[in-house]
Amino acid sequence: MEKKIFSRRDFLRAAALVAGSSVLAACAAPAAPTPQVIEKEVTKEVQVQVQVPVEVTKVVEKEVTPTTPPQRETKTVRFYEQGGHWQGWVEQLAFPMFYDRYPWIKIEFEPIDWDGFADKTLTQMAAGTAPDVLHGWSEIFQKWVSKKQLLNLNPLVESDFSPADVADQITYQWNTTIDPWTKERFAIPGYVDSQILYFNKDAFDEKKVAYPTKGWTFTDYAEASKKLNYYENGKQTRWGGWYWYGSWTFNSNLLNAFGGHFRDADTWMTCELDKPEAKDAIEWVRARIWDDKSWVNDQQTAALGISGDSGQMFATGTFNIMQADIEFWLSMANDVKFKWDIMHLPTGPGGRHALGDNDAWCMYKGTLTRGGQDTVDACWQWMKFMNGPDFQKLIAFNEGDVPARKSINKQWPTIMRSQFPSLQDVTLEVITEAFDMGHLTPSEQFRYQADAQPIVEAALQQIWQTGTAKVDILDQVAKDVNKAEQDAFNKDKA
């Protein structure tokens, strides 16, 4: 089943369905006006008279010269977002809606080049050539913010966002798009990303393993992963689980579940990967890959010729539990043919923690320099539109993303089931229930993320992907990160 882009008529019809029932006013013809009756008491000795006042309108002919409102100069907004299917529905549906309201603005869609996206964009920013409105998330934003490349949106938000608009945002997203050091707002929310378990019910049934529950611990998780390994002729053909190893944000929440952290809470500059809790979390994953071989890693999937987004990889059946985010519902609905379901992440020694990310839109600060305030205003209108209810419904219907507006967020399971019959038996309410459970946790970034991240990721590559190192290398990693952070701080303050 191939996902089609909703037409504008389809979208309006479906949006009305999920919004709930409405009471329509009867379309009866308006009643004729009833004359007003006034009783006038007269002092003369006459009968009381009933009068119906008649309004007389004096028509004065006046010659009026028509005036044409001044035309606004067209302003172009360079919009940097994911291409492909995303670009298709935005250009077909969102652009016409936006242009109806802002005919003086033109949006130029520039598809993201994901290869080195964050660092390449940072180079463009330094050169003054970056796009105007950009998509980012926690670790990406911190790289750009620490290099002072994003425009402060506080004045625009204070001017144009009502208290009701602010109250309708997902709280952790709204709060984590502010720089804690300068208090400047660098982005406004776009859609919600979080983290869950996907599991192959057919494999669980075949191996007679109980499905994951809210009560699962990491011990339960490890035991189930081992039981779900498959072998043929002494060779492993399927693995119990898979994890998005290359995602900084997921690793942060893994550490939190074991009581650990990437860095301290006060300065964001002291690395805590040398602490026992952080080592325990990273060791737990290492043991799944290299000790009991119940998790397949990225090098192994590449050797098997398996690639694609998480949904496409899950659909191959190569692994039976997938710990991943919620941004690929189209491929899950279209590609996965076996029975499957979802559940919250398990509880660890540090509690239950799953990604609560701030996928959002920001504005390059160079837009003001090269385009002036009118171009900034044009960019801001586009950003506000995308954060607003109309675009938020479009993003749910056409991309399957979870809306960033509370008023629309709870409608998401209904929207998805209206789109995909294959999702009827999937417990989609796990996604929206997580907002009320309170375990969605923003990821941790270093104050100078661009300086710390390469050091940490190189170590995790050795521990998880190549198996050439153990967690004791994290002692040196912590020292190296601390030095990099201090050097960056000194340079920043010089």
What is d(CA 166, CA 471) in angstroms, rounded to the nearest whole number? 43
Q: What is the pLDDT of residues 230-239, one digit of tens each?
A: 999 989 999 9
Q: At 172, is the secondary structure helix, strand, or coil?
A: helix
Measured CA to CA in angstroms, residue 218 lies from 38, 208, 278 at distances of: 83, 19, 15
Torsions phi, psi for 153 (to 5 deg): -95, 0
**Residue with the two structure tokens 């003369």:** 44
Q: At 430, is the secondary structure helix, strand, or coil?
A: helix
End-to-end CA distance of the chain: 58
Enumerate domains of the chain plus CATH numbers: 75-192+358-440 (3.40.190.10), 193-357+443-493 (3.40.190.10)
142 — alpha (psi -120 to 50), left (phi > 0) or beta? Answer: alpha
CB–CB of 133/363 below 8 Å? yes
What is d(CA 437, CA 343) in angstroms, rounded to the nearest whole number? 13
CB–CB of 191/359 below 8 Å? yes
User: What's residue 13's pLDDT?
Assistant: 45
Torsions phi, psi for 319 (to 5 deg): -135, 155
Which DSSP category does 131 fall into?
-
DSSP 466-480: I----GGGHHHHHHH
CA 13 to chain centre: 25
CB–CB of 318/229 below 8 Å? no
CB–CB of 277/260 below 8 Å? yes
CB–CB of 105/99 below 8 Å? yes
Mark out the alpha helices in 75-147 (DSSP H runs): 85-89, 95-101, 117-127, 138-146
438 — alpha (psi -120 to 50), left (phi > 0) or beta? Answer: left
**Angle at alpha carbon of residue 197, lines to 5 and 285, rounded to 5°:** 130
CA 456 to chain centre: 24
User: What's residue 5's pLDDT?
Assistant: 56
CB–CB of 204/210 below 8 Å? yes
Question: Which residues are 113's β-sheet partners?
Answer: none
What is d(CA 103, CA 237) in angstroms, rounded to the nearest whole number? 57
C-alpha dihedral (378, 381, 383, 385), degrees to nearest 10: -140
Low-confidence ranges of the chain (pLDDT < 50): 1-4, 7-62, 64, 68
DSSP 366-420: HHHHHHHHHHHHHHHHHHHHHHSHHHHHHHHHHH-PEESBHHHHTTHHHHHHHH-
CB atoms within 10 A of CB 72: 13
User: What's residue 22's pLDDT?
Assistant: 35
**Residue with the two structure tokens 């006046």:** 62
**Residue with the two structure tokens 């929207």:** 415
What is d(CA 240, CA 293) in angstroms, rounded to the nearest whole number? 9
| Helix or strand run (H / E) with residue 243 | strand 235-243
What is d(CA 301, CA 308) in angstroms, rounded to the nearest whole number? 11
Please name which of 363, 336, 345 lies closest in space to residue 144, comparing C-alpha atoms.
Answer: 363
Q: What is the pLDDT of residues 174-190, one digit of tens each?
A: 999 999 999 999 999 99
CB–CB of 479/262 below 8 Å? no
Q: What is the pLDDT of residues 338-396, one digit of tens each?
A: 999 999 999 999 999 999 888 999 999 999 999 999 999 999 999 999 999 999 999 99
